[in-house]
Chain A
Amino acid sequence: DVKVTQSSRYLVKRTGEKVFLECVQDMDHENMFWYRQDPGLGLRLIYFSYDVKMKEKGDIPEGYSVSREKKERFSLILESASTNQTSMYLCASSFAGANYGYTFGSGTRLTVV
């Protein structure tokens, strides 16, 4: 069964901490994405990557960075966590080309206190 796996389902971090969210896919997908989901705002794109070591900013990249050292792994980094980054974080992957829908992970619920 093909999968996108996010390392944690729930995380609680303190303000100012550096936070790593990990995502691994086993489908040999070229593209990987990080979204956050907030009530009333839907899913908003933070960063995406179309190849190893390549990254592009999405719609809300401020306060975040990413790393893609291997094709199957895409990490989201919160350099200094703030309370407004409390959210559900969703990783997704896809083959290149718009006709292939994303496969999403189950999400990480991050709470910053």
Chain B
Amino acid sequence: DQQVKQNSPSLSVQEGRISILNCDYTNSMFDYFLWYKKYPAEGPTFLISISSIKDKNEDGRFTVFLNKSAKHLSLHIVPSQPGDSAVYFCAATAHNTGTASKLTFGTGTRLQVTL
């Protein structure tokens, strides 16, 4: 049962354009969402996060939007750069899950930014 879904396994975008990566979730208890970026042969690195009390969070070229009613979030990268080419994972957690803050990850979207 995939509670966090990234339905696009891959995305190709031209340099300078906007990249939009999408993520859907099914668990209504999730209240905090994160995006991670992963290069080959490296571990994922934290990119940006958003709490369910917000609908938008911005950090430089990266913006995450949250639509709680649709259980959908998206990551916008503007402008896209070749160094953004990586696999992007969406992750979610619920604060009241007890002893540790487990993250549930999506399946990932491979972004390729072309010249």
A interface vs B, CB < 8 Å? 4, 9, 30-31, 33, 35, 40-45, 48-50, 54, 56, 58, 90, 92, 94, 96-107
Sampled A-B contacts (16; CB under 8 Å): A4-B43, A40-B107, A41-B107, A42-B4, A42-B89, A43-B108, A44-B105, A48-B100, A49-B100, A54-B99, A90-B44, A97-B101, A102-B44, A104-B36, A106-B41, A106-B42
A42 and B43 contacting across the interface, CB-CB below 8 Å: no
A43 and B89 contacting across the interface, CB-CB below 8 Å: yes
Q: Which residues of A contact B102 (CB under 8 A)?
A: 33, 45, 48, 58
B90-115 near A? 1/0 per residue, CB < 8 Å: 00011100011111111110000000
B interface vs A, CB < 8 Å? 4, 6, 9, 31-32, 34, 36, 41-46, 49, 51, 89, 93-95, 99-108
Chain B residues touching A, majority SS: loop
User: What is the CB-to-nearest-CB distance from A57 to chain B, in angstroms, rounded to a whole number?
Assistant: 11
